[in-house]
Amino acid sequence: MRDAYHEELDSLTARLVEMTRLVRSALSRATTALLDADLHLAESVISRDEEIDAIHAEVETRIFELMATQQPVAVDLRTVISALRMATDLERMGDLAEHVAKVARMRHPDTAVPVELRDAIVEMDQVAERLVTKAGTCIATRDVELAKELETDDDAMDRLHRRLFRVLLSQDWAHGMEAAIDLTLIGRYYERYADHAVRVAREVVYLVTGSRTPANVSG
C-alpha cells in the first residue's frame, strides 16, 4: 500500500494530466472558433480559461502544502518542483488558446483566416494537439524516450510557421494588413503553445533523470 505522501503526488500528477486535456480542448475549440468565425465557441474558450487557472492555483497550493509538511528531498523534491513548473507551462498554454479565441471574437462575424491559410492553421492545431497529447502521456507514464520525441515533433511547427510567413509575404496576398497582423500573432500563439508542451516534456526528462537537457536554454 502506498503512503499518503505518494498518494497525494499521484493525485497531483492526475491533475496535471487533466490540465493537458483541458488546454488541448481549449486550443482545439479556439481553432474551430477561428476558422468558422464561431463567436459562441470563442466566448466559451475565453470564459473557461478560468477553470484552467483555478486548477493551476489548486495544484500550486497543494504542492506548497506538500513541501511544507513533508519536506521532500532528492527525487521527491524534483518531482514536486517539476510539477510546479509543468503547471505553470500548462496554465500559459491555456492563455495562448484564449488569445487565439480572442482573435476569433475580435473579427467576428468575419473570419481572421483567409482560405489559402486554413490548411496551415489546421495543421498547426494538429501539431500542437499531438504535442500536448504526448506531453500528457509523458506526465502519466514518465516515459523519457517519448518525452524526447517532442523536441523533433516541434520542428513541424517551425516549418508551418515559415510557410505561414511565405504566404503573408507573397505577391498574391490580397487580404490587407489587418489580416496579416492577426495571422502573425496567431502563428506566434501556436508556436509558443508548442514550445510550452516541449518544456513540459523536458520536465519529465528532468524529474526522471535529474538532468536538464541542453535545449533548456530557450523556451
Give the footprint of its own copies on this chain (CB under 8 A). 49-50, 53, 57, 64, 67-68, 71, 73-74, 77-78, 81, 84-85, 88, 91-92, 95, 165, 168-169, 173, 177-178, 180-181, 184-185, 188, 212, 216-219
Closest contact distance (angstroms) between CB of 52 and its own copies is 10
From residue 169, alpha-carbon distances to 28, 40, 79, 119 in Å are: 27, 32, 45, 17
- Residue identified by cell 495562448 is 96
Sequence letter at residue 130? R
Q: What does the alpha-carbon distance between residue 19 and residue 133 come to, in Å, rounded to a whole number?
A: 11
Which one, 136 or 206, has the nearer CB to its own copies? 206
Closest contact distance (angstroms) between CB of 3 and its own copies is 18
Alpha carbon 199 to chain centroid distance?
9
User: Residues for the chain: how many in total?
Assistant: 219
Question: Among 109, 120, 108, 115, which residue's Cα sits nearest to residue 186?
Answer: 120
Which one, 39 or 81, has the nearer CB to its own copies? 81
| Max CA distance (Å), the chain | 67
Which one, 52 or 104, has the nearer CB to its own copies? 52
Give the other-Cβ count within 10 Å of 5's Cβ. 13
Which one, 152 or 218, has the nearer CB to its own copies? 218
Closest contact distance (angstroms) between CB of 53 and its own copies is 5
Closest contact distance (angstroms) between CB of 92 and its own copies is 7
Which one, 7 or 178, has the nearer CB to its own copies? 178
Q: What does the alpha-carbon distance between residue 186 and residue 111 come to, in Å, rounded to a whole number?
A: 13
Closest contact distance (angstroms) between CB of 122 and its own copies is 21
Which one, 36 or 75, has the nearer CB to its own copies? 75
Number of H helices, E strands in the chain: 6, 0
Name the DSSP letter for residue 143.
-
Closest contact distance (angstroms) between CB of 1 and its own copies is 26
